[in-house]
Structure 1
Amino acid sequence: MKLFSRTLSWLLLVSIVPVLMIVIMSALIALNVYAFIVSPVTAVKIAIGVVPTVLVLGRGLWVLASKIDNPVHGVPVSEHEQPRLWAMVRGFAQVADTRPPDAIYVIEDANAAVMEDTRLLGLISTKRHLFIGAPLLAELNTAQFAAVLTHELAHYSNRDTRFAGIAYRSRRAFAHTLATLNGGDALQRGLHFLLRHSGAPALRVGADLSRRQERLADEASAIAVGSAATITAFQELAPIAVSWNQFRSNHLVMGWSAGYLPADPFGGYRKLRASLHDEQAALRANPPNESDPFDTHPPMRERIAAIGALGAPGTVRVPAGSALGLLRDPMPLLDAALLAELPPEARTKRRVDWPTLVRVCGLASLTEHTGRVLAAAARLRAGPPSLRTLLDALDAGLLTELGEDPAVPSGPGDGPRVRRERSQLIVRGGLLGAVATVLTDAGVARWIESWPSGGVLQLAEEHKNSLSGLIESAVSERPDTSGLRALLNAAVQPQGRQGHRGTSTGDEDPRPDGHAQGGQAPQRVVEGLHGAGVYGGHHGVDPPGGPHGQPGRDHSWPARPAGR
């Protein structure tokens, strides 16, 4: 009876807005038809205002009726491949008194969700999908994972997923219609007022019903695995979500433009979480508590308090251990889920360990202007684009010319001082990148992991306090490169012996000597500096392979299905 009541409530709520739109549209059409019968001339005048309004309402109804193109994301997991995971899902589906899902997918998002394909406005169920986030599998223990899993399966038993699609389309149609109505037209302005004051309360009631469904799913989870396990699981969701967003935005793709991806992404993610210990602890202690009348989920703090008040001991014994223990060979599966949501060129990237990635990205960040400055030095001194040529140009007093782009004329208000200071910034960065490349190749400087920033350049003890001063001396008004030359001369190795590229775990370059990424030969940064030839990328790192362009924060990650 309760299920029938909730079903009827959903149907009534999601139908209020479209029924109101149909009634208004029908009334406007009937008015225009009646006017045409009485006076065709008057009908034409009325139609000028009525027809655009009817079209707006019609488009809104089309948005409601049209099918949303929401393809299933993630890596499908069969029962043959992951029997322990499927066994747990089936077991807790039985506990939740519902049919298990027909398909399980591992997704890269820090979320778990359920979805149900339906017909006849949600009255007939066809196929059920369960989505499990790779970060949850990697970071939750089995009891916490069971709590999240039971919560999602309870949405099936309560038939919440049946009407999630039509409810979303109803909200989308309402928002689309309000946004499309023309505020400059009196009729449409009045219609906007009517819809906003009649549809918004219905949507608010629908959101309240969704929040009640979430509380029922929380209760089912607590009864199954216990309030304590459910609370710890829910307390962990916000820390995982926040740290995962930071990881995938700042660390996962930090080597993208250079053609690299980490070989062990979840190893790096664990290091990031460990480095954010205080922030993560604060999120656990004080989960987000923001609320809005249209939110479909209650505030997490409120949910945790309600679960604690139940004091449920749990009815199912869950074995101890990490949720990863439910998977056979888990890391390739999690990695595949991650790659599935990156652009296709991700599969062409070179996979390297974190120390190598830190070195590559660190050098890339320092050598933004290096290629430009070396090319300018070669042009001005009629020599090779090398560090020695750059130092010779600085000694010759060509600082301003080194930082200027010949293709871009100076502004009319750019005096000598402005030009010099602007060039000094560019040349300082370019010189630092070239020097850092040489010192890294020589093993004098080492790139080490430093979470959460990713990595830092660590110089040998005898050089750590002198490098910045030597760089400043070289780009000063009265340049002096002798100290920098002496440092480089002491750092580089004899001709014919290639220096190792230092990392935090070893000095060996993982490439075969003489072969850069993509089969390109490495280019000299230092050529004949006091008789030493040191190899490095022209821009300070291995020449990249594959397309460039780092996906930014607005990259389209998988949409969250209805859930959690």
Structure 2
Amino acid sequence: MSRGTAVRAAIALGLLAGFYVYALAWAVGIGLLALWAVRSFGVVLSLPVTVGCGVVAFGVLGGLLASLRKVPFEPGGRPLGRGEAPELWEFVEETARLAGTRPPDEIHLDEDVNAWVCEVGGLLGLLPGTRHLMIGLPFLSALPRGELRAIVAHECGHYVGHHTRLGPVTHRAQLAIGRVGERLRRQWWNPLAWPLVPYAVVFGLVATAVSRRQELEADRAAAGIAGADAMRAALRALRVVGAGWDFYLGAYVSHGLPHGLVPKGVLTGFQEMWDHRREFVARLETGLPIEPPGVFDTHPHLGVRLKALDGLPAEGTVDDEGEARDLLPATLWEACDGLVVDLDGRERVEWAAFTTRSYAAVQREIAEDAYRFLANETGVNPPTLTSVLWNYERGRGEALLAKLAGPLFPSHGLAAIVLSAAYDSDALYYAHHWGGALRLMRQGVRLSAAVGEPVTDPTPTGGFDDLAADVTYRDTDWDMAVTVHGLLLIPFEGRQPPKGLSETGRPYQRLRELVGRNSPLTYTRHETLWLPYAHWTSAHVENDKPLRLTFETRDGARHTLGEHYAPMRFGEPARLLRTRLAAYGIGR
């Protein structure tokens, strides 16, 4: 172990031990304070101090004990056997040999636009152990071999610098601080809990500073193998591939999932899209915001990483040609589709049929939402497009059209009605094309086909207007999405981020994932709870932050819903709820 690594290991161990000593000393001190208060003022007069001390002391001790429990390591993803992809294994082992380190013992594949390594050893990870390498399938799909070489070499650089030996120590400290913080989160009013906050801040500053330095060391190690040019290209590709992956899933795949459809070849489809629309994706990436560097960032800012490569050899010690995707056999790509989308209960169809059927289903869904609105406004049920024309002919068109332009009518609702009628009339079909979905029209749309289903209840369509984590309803915690027509409560089970995140960071990560998808329809695989405003007879937002909502439903039942204190959310759910409830005429 190098001198620099030994120093960082000592810092990590010192921070870990320091927090346990600091927290235990604080718990003992609080206990002594409670004892002094009882002796000085008696049991009755000292009761507020005693209760406050007890809550904090038990919270600290409980959090420390919880952090000591050993959590089994689960790398996730799909383990890749050597016989399944011998070329990729040889590629990785050759890179490790060039880096002068032992190669990973296991390779895993997952759906993230990322790559990482870890080492699971004894003595809090300070002793050598089993090495794991995770490679994101989007990287393998989109990058040339030279840039993948740079990424794998970067990860091997972490092995060379023994950075992975420090990971478990840092994780244990993060776990201890997170568990204690989670137990004290609701004790914001108690000043006895406040002194633990500065230590958590100092630890975060030190740990992330060490992490950023390690990333720069790994970058330099990768440049020595793949070349500085390849490393720069790989760093820039992170955002481009990420933008392309998100665009692909949103524009090509996600619209069919709620309707039970999955295309054959999800990953190979991304490769086709990437080859056809690479310049378009690059333009998408340029429109993404560049977030300023933060003091708690675990990775240096992109500009800092690129600048640090100046002066290093442009060419590497190995000449790579071809695409990284060729390192996996063709049969394995389709076998990995289940990592990207849930295949259970869904029909797998060819891309041409998937595009036609899924786009038609999406338009029909929007049309049904529009039909529900029309049924309320025209009194015709089941609603029809001809009812709109009939109202227009009788002089009611201006008032009706004004309502169709209002916030409750679905965007492009009339267009969806016409498109659905055209599809049902065999006058329209959707032709799959990697440049976009083409709508091909013929003459002969039958207006008689423009008929909606009998109206029952509004369904959760459209995007999320606002989000909040850790909302309690019926004695159960949920994540809440505010939509146009109701509240969607999404359970935690099946959506928890990796266990490496601290307890306080996990709600934020869950909300980030929801924002990334921005559609309730992508969560139909989970046991969501849908609360449509149309079922409510009254509602009252009693408090904004934390949110407190009471509402009554048609059956006379009274319901309450609220956030925990110090909620994690995007935006202002209470303000938006008032607007949505006012549109339904039930809010106050």
Scaled by the length of structure 2, the TM-score of the pair is 0.65
Cα shift at 1:431: 4.8
Q: 1:134 to 1:292 in 2, by over 3 A?
A: same
* Contact in 2 for aligned 1:362/1:457 (Cα 8 Å): no
- The corresponding residue for 2:350 is 353
Q: Which runs of 5+ in 1 are unaligned?
A: 402-414, 464-486, 492-524, 528-536, 540-547
Q: Does 1:432 align with 2:418?
A: yes
Give SS of 1:342's match. coil
* Contact in 1 for aligned 2:380/2:387 (Cα 8 Å): no
Q: What is the alpha-carbon distance in structure 1 between the residues aligned to residue 33 and residue 393 of structure 2?
A: 77
Q: What is the alpha-carbon distance in structure 2 between the residues aligned to residue 23 and residue 52 of structure 1?
A: 15
- The corresponding residue for 1:58 is 61
Cα shift at 1:302: 1.3
Q: 1:245 to 1:390 in 2, by over 3 A?
A: closer
Q: Does 1:342 align with 2:344?
A: no
* Contact in 2 for aligned 1:227/1:310 (Cα 8 Å): yes
Q: 1:268 to 1:436 in 2, by over 3 A?
A: farther
Cα RMSD (Å) of the superposition?
4.4
- The corresponding residue for 2:12 is 10
Q: What is the alpha-carbon distance in structure 2 between the residues aligned to residue 278 and residue 240 of structure 1?
A: 12
Task: State the Cα deviation string for residues 452-508 of structure 1 (Å, max 9, x = none).
Answer: 7x5242224xx5xxxxxxxxxxxxxxxxxxxxxxx348x9xxxxxxxxxxxxxxxxx
* Contact in 2 for aligned 1:32/1:43 (Cα 8 Å): no
Cα shift at 1:214: 0.5
Give 1:371-386 correspondences, 5 Å limit. Answer: none
Identical pairs, percent: 23
Q: 1:61 to 1:25 in 2, by over 3 A?
A: same
Query: Between Structure 1 and Structure 2, which shows a larger proportion of strand residues?
Result: 2
Give SS of 1:360's match. helix
Task: State the Cα deviation string for residues 99-132 of structure 1 (Å, max 9, x = none).
Answer: 2212111111111111222333222343221111
- The corresponding residue for 1:252 is 253
Q: 1:303 to 1:549 in 2, by over 3 A?
A: same
Cα shift at 1:145: 0.8
Where relative contact order (Cα < 8 A, 6+ residues apart) is larger, the structure is 1
Q: What is the alpha-carbon distance in structure 2 between the residues aligned to residue 140 and residue 77 of structure 1?
A: 19
Aligned residue among 167, 171, 176 for 2:174: 171
Q: What is the alpha-carbon distance in structure 2 between the residues aligned to residue 145 and residue 269 of structure 1?
A: 17
Q: What is the alpha-carbon distance in structure 2 between the residues aligned to residue 137 and residue 447 of structure 1?
A: 30
Scaled by the length of structure 1, the TM-score of the pair is 0.68
Give 1:108-119 correspondences, 5 Å limit. Answer: 108-119=111-122
Give SS of 1:368's match. helix
Q: 1:131 to 1:42 in 2, by over 3 A?
A: same
Q: What is the alpha-carbon distance in structure 1 between the residues aligned to residue 263 and residue 139 of structure 2?
A: 19
- The corresponding residue for 1:448 is 431
Q: Does 1:88 align with 2:91?
A: yes
* Contact in 1 for aligned 2:139/2:148 (Cα 8 Å): yes
Give SS of 2:107's match. strand
Q: 1:228 to 1:285 in 2, by over 3 A?
A: farther
Q: What is the alpha-carbon distance in structure 1 between the residues aligned to residue 186 and residue 500 of structure 2?
A: 34
Cα shift at 1:236: 1.0
- The corresponding residue for 2:558 is none
Q: What is the alpha-carbon distance in structure 2 between the residues aligned to residue 163 and residue 205 of structure 1?
A: 13
Aligned residue among 289, 294, 297 for 1:295: 297
Q: What is the alpha-carbon distance in structure 1 between the residues aligned to residue 115 and residue 223 of structure 2?
A: 17
Q: Which runs of 5+ in 2 are unaligned?
A: 454-459, 465-480, 482-489, 502-588
Q: What is the alpha-carbon distance in structure 1 between the residues aligned to residue 185 and residue 364 of structure 2?
A: 52
- The corresponding residue for 2:306 is 304
Q: Does 1:459 align with 2:445?
A: no
Give SS of 2:365's match. coil
Q: 1:70 to 1:246 in 2, by over 3 A?
A: farther
Give SS of 1:319's match. coil
Q: What is the alpha-carbon distance in structure 1 between the residues aligned to residue 237 and residue 188 of structure 2?
A: 51
User: Partner amino acid for 1:247?
Assistant: Y
Considering only CA atoms, is the larger Rg found in Structure 1 or Structure 2?
Answer: 1
Which stretch of structure 1 is more off in the superposition, 272-281 or 123-132?
Answer: 272-281
User: Partner amino acid for 2:5?
Assistant: L
Cα shift at 1:151: 0.8
Cα shift at 1:559: 4.1
Q: 1:227 to 1:287 in 2, by over 3 A?
A: farther
* Contact in 1 for aligned 2:360/2:420 (Cα 8 Å): no
Q: What is the alpha-carbon distance in structure 1 between the residues aligned to residue 130 and residue 272 of structure 2?
A: 39
Aligned residues: 454
Give SS of 1:310's match. coil
